[in-house]
Amino acid sequence: MTTRTRPSGATEAGTPGTWCHWHEGPSMTAVLIDAVEATSGSGYGRYACAPCRQQRHLTPAAEQVTARRP
């Protein structure tokens, strides 16, 4: 049986706001990290809560630098 580990600071209390794809639970602090594009159908966004962002050094999509096209 697989046991999942939740990062310190991840809680189950309160109304779930957005799903954190890293600790696989609800979070009130989750923000968009990246968007996954699908070849058919619609893509989806991956969100991470504050503790997961800090522990895994994840940068929110809004703060990521994108390459400019010539």
Diameter over CA atoms, the chain: 51
| DSSP state letters, 20-64 | ETTTTEEESS-EEEEEEPPSSS--EEEEE-HHHHHHHT---GGG-
**Contact in structure between 46 and 36 (CB atoms under 8 Å):** yes
Which pLDDT belongs to residue 36?
Answer: 87
How confident is the model over 8-56, as pLDDT tens digits? 544 444 346 899 999 999 999 999 999 888 788 788 899 999 999 999 9
Q: How far apart are CA 49 and CA 25, in angstroms?
A: 9
